[in-house]
Chains A and B, each alone.
Chain A
């Protein structure tokens, strides 16, 4: 009996060892070690990409591509990594914890990859995470466009920070299109991922709040009624002022 257990143990150890010793895994680990010694992520990006291109079906390929996405933002290598992930790895379980980094990667390919994960993701949680971060990405892009409209002099800084490719893409975006895209993403969030929990409540609640903002709290829309008491306890309504230009201030001492 003891011999049998021993044999089983040895074979388990051996099989794990074989799996971990794939060429891709060895190359990946060597590169990670070298990077930790030398630093300078940008110069390593191409070599991580190469591992993924040469061993596309090895699980380490996904990891190598995610290394690029996480460590190098706003470069053409970032875009290459995101595009490979989208084409070959969109259903990988490893993507579940990578959606935030994908959304922050400052590349035109991030949105497409997140959309691919929303439909092809490993499980419901992964797909939900992709949907959540896709919404965040679109919100960030809307925010940038609003700010650029208010302060056009920021344009060169946007190009510098987001990289030439993505920066140019950003400055060509239309607020109305983005608003429509956001609406669609939140509708899907409500339909498919409603019960998934986030730190700010369920995704259903989040989506409803966002949809309300898109429909009522956006420039060009009719804002919600305000009805309540003034400081002296007398009731009045925002709609009492229809026909006048109203400047509404939310303020307080705190």
Chain B
């Protein structure tokens, strides 16, 4: 789990991360909703969740919250299959 965060204040963000027990690593996108990462990825809505498989291929884009578990299970299963 990784994040790209667009909050303005980096200090305040540190507090948020601690308070809400956010343990995943986040790129900080210069405090802009149109920061360089958001621009390159052409992100139009937040929160917006993408899932990338073990081979680095984008598999799910702007996925609905209730479909995330099934999607990750599917990709993990593909991964173990590939190992055998």
Which A residues have a C-beta under 8 Å from some C-beta of B? Answer: 150, 209, 212-213, 217-224, 226, 228-232, 236, 238-239, 241-254
Contact = CB atoms under 8 A, between A and B. Distances in A.
Given A217-B42, A249-B50, 6 more contacts: A150-B67, A226-B4, A231-B14, A245-B51, A247-B2, A247-B68
Interface of B: 1-7, 10, 13-14, 16-17, 24-29, 33, 36-38, 40-43, 46-61, 64, 67-68, 72, 75-76, 79
A179 B2 CA distance: 28
A219 B59 contact: yes
Contact of B2 (A229, A241, A243, A253): A241
A248 B49 contact: yes
A250 B6 contact: yes
A144 to B, nearest CB: 15
7 contacts: A220-B59, A221-B58, A230-B25, A230-B28, A249-B3, A249-B4, A252-B46
Nearest to A224: B40
Contacts of B25: 230, 236
A252 B7 contact: yes
Contacts of B40: 224
Contacts of A239: 56
Contacts of A226: 4, 27, 37
- Of A209, A212, A238, which is in contact with the most chain B CB atoms at under 10 Å from its CB? A238
Contact of B58 (A220, A228, A229): A220
Contacts of A251: 3-6, 46-48
Nearest to A150: B64
Contacts of B68: 247
Nearest to B39: A209
A239 B54 CA distance: 10
Nearest to B38: A250
Contacts of A244: 54
A223 B33 CA distance: 19
Q: Which of B4, B53, B79 has the most CB of A within 10 A?
A: B4
A127 B1 CA distance: 46
A246 B52 contact: yes
Contact of A247 (B16, B55, B72): B72
Given A247-B49, A249-B47, A250-B48, A231 B64 contact: no
A249 B58 contact: no
A231 B27 CA distance: 7
A243 B8 CA distance: 32
